[in-house]
Amino acid sequence: MSARRAQTRDRLMVAATAVFAERGIIGSSVEEICEAAGFTRGAFYSNFADKDALVLALIEAAIAAQYAAAEQSIADLAAIPAEATPEERLSLALTRFADRSRNAGPGRDSRDAILVEQELMLHAARVPGLRAPYAAFVEACNSQLTGLISGALAAVGLEFVVPLDEAIDMLSAAHQHAQISSLFLGDAAAPTLERLVLAITRVTAGPPAARG
């Protein structure tokens, strides 16, 4: 893909995100997206076969952005002073993840990001041809996050007290709940994930550095 075409594609995705957040996917037209992006229908169809193809691209971009936000936040653990407690290290990592994920994805502010994420999920559920690709994207993301979360807990000196797959399901549900709550309550919903992590983990023996 040429740089010019990549820029056109990105602008269309940014425009679609804003339009979808305001009007919903079903209520939005290709023409509205093109107008918001400043392009013709020809530019749209040279990048996406139809609106559903655009939806798939946005789903993939959203999942990739969330994973990148998590990966960067976990990498930050290396810079935290060794004397910090596991709880302090966890709190800092989750705070940085929340800050990054608020703006994760193409051109979205925090509210648009949440609205569009819900729109994408519901649209994929309604359209038979999108269900399998959406499920595959989510499964791939969960698989990547499982490895990241396991490594992050070891880095801060914590371990799950429940089976790993159950812990991931609970964390995903808590993240979803916090996102939806934040649409109405703002940042008042933010501590939910941290409280859950602390509730289903325990401190491991010895400091992270000593375990190598």
pLDDT tens digits, residue range 98-134?
A: 777 666 655 555 788 888 889 999 999 999 999 999 8
List, for residues 163-185, the tens digit of each pLDDT value. 988 998 898 888 888 888 888 87
Kindly report the average pLDDT of the chain as a whole number.
84
Least confident interval from 54-68, 167-181, 198-212 = 198-212
The percentage of the chain sitting over the pLDDT mark of 90, rounded to a whole number, equals 37
CA distance 102 to 75: 18
Q: Give 142 or 188, the one with higher predicted confidence.
A: 142
Buried b / exposed e across 8-40, counting CB within 10 Å, b at 16+?
bbebbbbbbbbbbbeeebeebebebbbebbebe
Number of H helices, E strands in the chain: 9, 2
Amino acid, single-letter form, for residue 67:
Y
Q: Mind giving me the DSSP string for 157-182? A: TEEESS-HHHHHHHHHHHHHHHHHHH
With b meaning 16 or more CB within 10 Å and e meaning fewer, what string describes 195-205? Answer: ebbeebbeeee
Question: 200 pLDDT exceeds 70?
Answer: yes
pLDDT confidence of residue 210: 44
Cβ pair 113, 104 in contact under 8 A: yes
More confident position, 209 or 37? 37
C-alpha atoms less than 13 angstroms from C-alpha of 63 in its C-beta half-sphere: 21
